[in-house]
């Protein structure tokens, strides 16, 4: 798959070393077969489609051949954390955050336009950075939140006749603690790009709640977009 030259800079260019621990960890490079060293560092998670998400203390392998590979823990949980951060952003949500959320709730632009009574063209404009009104901001957040709740409710109910009371109660607690409608009243009518910093402890805590343990291997060649 050919990449366009206008794409964001190589992942490694945006990293800053933070921890030293027991680093470096060494392993064989999948690209050149040589030895590559891994260190814990802050990692700009541009694979999410967002340039303002920084994962703290992630193991990143850099190879002399140019290959860069990051180990991203519990990626589905990570994506949920990012979505929650965006929904609770205190200023207007930005274009790429809108795109992230729409993809997170697995809606096509056409489908999402239908939900909010808008057009695919408007969605595309917003996602590409056109300024949105406070009104649109709230509409988008409510639509995203509704989609998330619907999907979670579906998952919580699940197939069969099993008693899902505990799952439903846990889910209801989450919705209540999120308290979105109260929060919506406090959003400032300004455009702002805040950095979303996510530390390993947060991911671990959420993973334990959801029982997720998988680790995503990202590399500069195989980096997948959300």
Angle at the Cα of 123 from the Cα atoms of 94 and 86, rounded to 5 degrees: 30
- What gap in Å lies between CA 171 and CA 174, rounded to an integer? 5
Query: Distance between CA 15 and CA 217 in Å, rounded?
Result: 17
How many of the other CB atoms lie within 10 Å of CB of 63? Answer: 22
Q: Which of residues 71-90 bind Zn ion (CB under 5 A)?
A: none
Contact map string, positions 139 to 178, toward Zn ion, x by CB under 5 A: ----------------------------------------
- Which range touches Zn ion (CB under 5 A), out of 37-45, 59-67, 126-134, 159-167? 59-67
Pairwise CA distance, residues 170 & 208, whole Å: 13
Sole window of 61-69, 84-92, 165-173, 212-220 interacting with Zn ion (rule: CB under 5 A): 61-69
- State the DSSP string of 100-127: HHHHHTT--HHHHHHHHT--HHHHHHHH
Q: Which of 67, 96, 97, 127 binds Zn ion (CB under 5 A)?
A: 67
Binding of Zn ion by 97 (CB under 5 A): no
Distance CA 19, CA 31 (A): 26
* Interacting span for Zn ion (CB under 5 A) from 46-54, 60-68, 94-102, 199-207: 60-68
Q: Does 60 bind Zn ion (CB under 5 A)?
A: no
Strand partners, 40: 59
- Residue 47 CA, distance from chain mean position: 9
In the complex with Zn ion, the residue whose CB is nearer, 10 or 168, is 10
Q: Decide if residue 29 touches Zn ion (CB under 5 A).
A: yes
When binding is defined by CB under 5 A, the residue of 32, 121, 169, 194 that contacts Zn ion is 32
Q: Work out how close the CB of 20 gets to Zn ion at its nearest, in angstroms, rounded to a whole number.
A: 23
Residue 194: in which H helix or E strand, if any?
none
**Under the phi-then-psi rule, with left for phi > 0, alpha for psi from -120 to 50, and beta for the rest, what region is 211?**
left
* 12, 19, 25, 31: residue in contact with Zn ion (rule CB under 5 A): 31
Binding site for Zn ion (CB under 5 A): 29, 31-32, 34, 63, 65, 67
């Amino acid at each position: 798959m050919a990449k366009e030259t206008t794409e964001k800079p190589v992942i490694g260019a945006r990293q800053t070393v933070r921890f030293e621990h027991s680093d470096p960890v060494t392993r064989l490079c999948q690209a050149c077969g040589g030895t590559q060293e891994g260190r814990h560092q802050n990692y700009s998670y541009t694979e999410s489609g967002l340039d303002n998400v920084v994962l703290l203390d992630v193991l990143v392998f850099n190879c002399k051949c140019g290959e860069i590979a990051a180990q991203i823990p519990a990626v589905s949980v990570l994506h949920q954390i990012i979505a929650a951060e965006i929904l609770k952003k205190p200023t207007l949500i930005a274009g790429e955050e809108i795109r992230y959320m729409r993809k997170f709730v697995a809606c096509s632009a056409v489908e999402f336009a239908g939900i909010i009574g808008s057009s695919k063209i408007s969605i595309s404009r917003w996602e590409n950075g056109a300024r949105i009104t406070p009104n649109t901001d709230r509409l988008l957040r409510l639509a995203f939140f509704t989609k998330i709740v619907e999907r979670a409710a579906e998952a919580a109910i699940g197939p069969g006749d099993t008693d899902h009371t505990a799952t439903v109660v846990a889910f209801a607690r989450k919705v209540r603690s999120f308290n979105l409608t109260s929060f919506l009243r406090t959003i400032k009518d300004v455009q702002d790009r805040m950095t979303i910093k996510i530390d390993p402890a947060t991911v671990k805590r959420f993973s334990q709640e959801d029982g997720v343990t998988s680790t995503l291997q990202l590399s500069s060649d195989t980096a997948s977009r959300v």
